[in-house]
Amino acid sequence: MTEEQTPPLETTDRAADSSSGVAVLDRAFALLAAFQPTDERLTLTELSRRTGLYKSTVLRLLGALEHGGFMRKLDDGQYAIGPQPMRLAAIYQRSFRVDSVIEPLLAELSAELGETASFYVRAGTRRLVVSRVEPARAVRVSIRVGEEFDVGKGASGKVLLAFTEPEGDPTIRRQLWATSYGERDPETASASVPVFGALGEMKGALTVSGPLSRLGQAGAMQSAVRALLDKARRAVAEFGGNPSRFTHALQSFPLEAP
């Protein structure tokens, strides 16, 4: 059996589940996915360890990725992400009109509530941070654009699942909001609402998160949900959709229990 026929030395359930059926692409994607939000550079050995691929295979793939601008080799021999993902990320963000619609609303939310405001989209079994604004407070929830979390946990995950699954939570679908108290992080609370496009399609989840000791208080959480519903109503209107559902949700809140 040749090296190319030899299975990877180690695999993960997530990698197996996300296989495209095109081995060379899956391996190239695995190299890119090996970089975590805190990784600025990785060695060939570490890339080989994280992907379960032979070093010779990793070198060939790195050469192709470097040629396409997705990877770059540094002077010390280590590897870092290249400029192409940044260009594609900018296009991806524009597809959600985050720059012109969502980001100003995030800034308003953060300033109004004094907490971290963010916008999530679903990516399979994960939820991805597309944009975020953090308050100027010493104690706050800090997240990075591009960071991923389990879609099954947190307020934004509940909202994304409710409006992207055929059997989504009917209560969240009706009231248009969800809350979370220490589900993903035991010290964090969050509230989230959906944002829809012109045809009623799900754009993403507008979210506020903060320390459980602060945002977890009933009054603070109610203020957060009200502010989110108001901002989502404005976002939907700007996307060309029908904001009346959010007007009704605001009128009903907090009559419907979380």
Residue range 230-239: mean pLDDT, rounded: 94
Confidence grade of residue 220 (pLDDT, cut at 50, 70, 90) = very high
Confidence grade of residue 240 (pLDDT, cut at 50, 70, 90) = confident
Cα 90 off chain centre by: 15
CATH 1.10.10.10: which residues of the chain?
Answer: 13-82
Residue range 169-187: mean pLDDT, rounded: 93
What would the pLDDT profile of 44-57 be if each residue is shown by its tens digit?
999 999 999 999 99
Report yes or no: 230 and 255 within 8 Å, Cβ to Cβ: no
Confidence grade of residue 71 (pLDDT, cut at 50, 70, 90) = very high
Task: Answer yes or no: pTM beyond 0.75.
Answer: no
Domain 13-82 - what CATH class? Answer: mainly alpha
Assigned fold of 88-252: Beta-Lactamase (3.30.450)
According to DSSP, residue 8 is labeled: P
The reported pLDDT for the residue numbered 16 is 41
CATH 3.30.450.40: which residues of the chain?
Answer: 88-252
**170 has pLDDT over 80:** yes
Identify the CA nearest to 233 among candidates 250, 219, 255: 250
**249 has pLDDT over 80:** yes
Report yes or no: 246 and 236 within 8 Å, Cβ to Cβ: yes
**CA–CA distance, 69 with 107 (Å, rounded to integer):** 33
The reported pLDDT for the residue numbered 147 is 86
What would the pLDDT profile of 95-151 be if each residue is shown by its tens digit?
666 778 899 999 999 999 999 999 999 988 999 999 999 998 877 887 888 888 999
